[in-house]
Structure 1
C-alpha cells in the first residue's frame, strides 16, 4: 500500500508542478466559451419536460465534451496506449496504470469543472431546468392559486399569466440561490480535495522537494528538446529524400544553416529504438542512480552496453 501511495503521489506531484500552460489556457478558454454561450446561444424553451432536459444538457454535454477532449489531448493517454501496444502490459503495473490514469483524469476535469461551476454561478441553465419542479408554497407570500408545471415552466421566460406575474422575480431569485449555492459548494469541495492531495504529496512522497522539482523540470525539458530535435531530424530526412528524388532541395537560408550543423545525424532510427523510449515510465533508481524517463534509461543502457 505504501508503494502504491508513493508512486501515485509522484504523478500527483508532476500534475501540480508541470510548467505546461495548456491547463491555464484551457481554463481561460472555458470561461470565455461559457460566457459567450450563455450570452449568444442559451434560450430556455419554457416548455414542461423539455426545460429539464435542455437545462441539464446545457451544463453536462459541454462538460463531457471538454473532458473527452482533455483525455484525448493528454500525452499520457497515448503513453498508455503505446505501452499497451509495444509491451502488451508486461511492464505496466497496476499501480503505475492507476497513477497515470489519475494524472490524466486530474488534468481532463479542469475544464469540465470550470464549465459546471460557472454554469451554476450564472444560474440560467439551472433556473430553466428546475423551474417546473419548484414548489410554489416555498415562495414568500404563498400563491393561493397553485400553478401547475405548465405554468411554472414559463417563469424563466417571464411569459406567465398575469395572476402569477408578481412572483416571477421571486422564482428566479430562489432558483438562482440554489444554483449558486451548489456552485460554491463545488468550489469548496474541489479546493479541499486539492489541499488534501497537496498535503498527501508532501507527507508520503519518498523524494525530497528539490528532487521532485528537478524531475518535473527534467521531463519538461526533455519533452521540449525531444520534440524540437525531432522536428529538425524529420526535416533533415525529408530534405535528403527530396534531394535524392529531384537532385536538389529548395531550402531557406536558415534551414540550410540548421541542417549544415547537423553532423553525425542518424538517417534512420529503427522502430525498436522508438519503442524503447516510448511509453509509461515511473521514477526508478539503479545502484542509487536516478532514472527519470525512458529516454534517460535508454541513454544509460546504451552507454553501458548492457541493454
Structure 2
C-alpha cells in the first residue's frame, strides 16, 4: 500500500513520467501475479475464473486510485451538508463533474495498465475463452479439423494440457489462436489509451488560458504550498496538543494559540475555481488575499478580483487541487 501511494503521489504531482511509473509498477505486479498465483482450473469455472483475474484486480486498482486521490475527498467532503439544491446548481455540478473527470484520468492509469498487460500475456483470456458456452465461437475456434467435435467438447481442458483426447498439434493451434486474439485486444487497448491521452493533453494545452512558463511556475507553487501546508499543519497540531496536555496535567490556564475557524478551513478546502481576472494560484492564496483586503479596508490594486469567480477549472490546471494523497 505504501509503495503504491508513493507512486500515485508521483503521478499526481509530476507530469506524464509519473503515469509511466504507475504503468510500469502495475505491469510488474501483473507478471508476478499471473506466474505465482493464477492457475486455470480447466473445468466449468474457466470463464468466471479467467474473467475475475482479468477484471477484478483492475477494479480494485481503480477504486484504490479514487480512495488515495486528495481531490476525490476534497470534492465530496461536506457535500451533503450544503444548502438544499446545491447538487442541482448546474454550475457547481459542472465543477464536481470536471473534478471527478480529472481524478479518473489518474485513477484509470493502473487498471488500464493491468488489463493491457494481462491481455498481452494471454493467460487470463485463454482460460476465460476456453470456458465459454457459445457454440458458434467454440466451433470457429476449433475449426474443421477431424478432432473438431472433441475439441469443442473438451475445450475447457486445453489450457492444462492433461485429461484431453485432442491431439497436441490441434491443442497448440487453439491456444495460439486465443493468445493472438488476446494480444490483439491488448495492443488495441494500449493504442486507444495512448491516443486518448494525447488528444486530451493537446486539447487541454491548446485551450490553456495561461502561458507555458506561467504554468510551470504555477505547478511549482502548488507543489511547494502543499508540502509546506502539510508540514505546518502537523507542527501547529502538535503545538496545540502539547498546550492542552500541559494545561490538563499542570492545571494551568492554556496559552493563547490562534487556530483557523471553521469558515477559514472551508475557504481553503474548496476546489480551486480559476478565473483569468485573478492573480490567485490556489484557494489558500485567494483566502489570504481576501483577509488582507478586509484588514486594509480597501480594494487591492495589484490583483483585481471578480465579484463572482468563475466556476470553471481547466483541465490544464488540474494539479492545483491534487496535493499529496
CA 1:183/1:137 → structure 2, altered by over 3 Å: closer, same or farther?
A: closer
Paired position in structure 1 for 2:119? 120
Q: Bigger CA drift: 213-222 or 39-48?
A: 213-222
Offset, 1:136: 5.1
- Does structure 1 residue 164 correspond to structure 2 residue 153? no
- Aligned partner of 2:219 among 216, 219, 226: 216
State the secondary structure of the residue aligned to 1:268: coil
Paired position in structure 2 for 1:282? 273
State the secondary structure of the residue aligned to 1:158: coil
CA 1:265/1:128 → structure 2, altered by over 3 Å: closer, same or farther?
A: farther
State the secondary structure of the residue aligned to 2:198: helix
CA 1:302/1:85 → structure 2, altered by over 3 Å: closer, same or farther?
A: farther
Could you list the per-position Cα deviations for residues 120-168 of structure 1 after superposition, in whole angstroms to 9, with x for gaps in the alignment? 0111000000024454555688234522544010001111434433322
- Aligned partner of 1:190 among 170, 193, 199: 193
Distance 2:152 2:102 in 1: 44
- Does structure 1 residue 51 correspond to structure 2 residue 54? no
CA 1:296/1:74 → structure 2, altered by over 3 Å: closer, same or farther?
A: same
Matches within 5 A, 1:1-307: 18-19=13-14, 26-48=22-44, 50-82=45-77, 84-85=79-80, 87-88=82-83, 89=86, 93-133=92-132, 135=138, 138=141, 142-147=145-150, 149-247=152-250, 266-285=257-276, 288-305=277-294
What TM-score comes out, normalization by structure 2 length? Answer: 0.76
Distance 1:246 1:186 in 2: 63
Distance 1:86 1:216 in 2: 31
Task: Work out whether residues 18 and 220 of structure 1, in 8 Å CA contact, stay in contact via their aligned partners in 2.
Answer: yes
CA 1:27/1:244 → structure 2, altered by over 3 Å: closer, same or farther?
A: farther
CA 1:189/1:100 → structure 2, altered by over 3 Å: closer, same or farther?
A: same
State the secondary structure of the residue aligned to 1:277: helix
Offset, 1:29: 3.7
Aligned residues: 275
Task: Work out whether residues 277 and 294 of structure 1, in 8 Å CA contact, stay in contact via their aligned partners in 2.
Answer: yes
Q: Bigger CA drift: 147-156 or 224-233?
A: 147-156
Distance 1:62 1:275 in 2: 36
Offset, 1:22: 7.0
Could you list the per-position Cα deviations for residues 189-237 of structure 1 after superposition, in whole angstroms to 9, with x for gaps in the alignment? 1111111112212222222112222222222221111111101111111
Task: Work out whether residues 137 and 143 of structure 1, in 8 Å CA contact, stay in contact via their aligned partners in 2.
Answer: no
CA 1:24/1:188 → structure 2, altered by over 3 Å: closer, same or farther?
A: closer
Q: Bigger CA drift: 272-281 or 165-174?
A: 165-174
**TM-align CA RMSD:** 2.9
Task: Work out whether residues 141 and 177 of structure 2, in 8 Å CA contact, stay in contact via their aligned partners in 1.
Answer: no
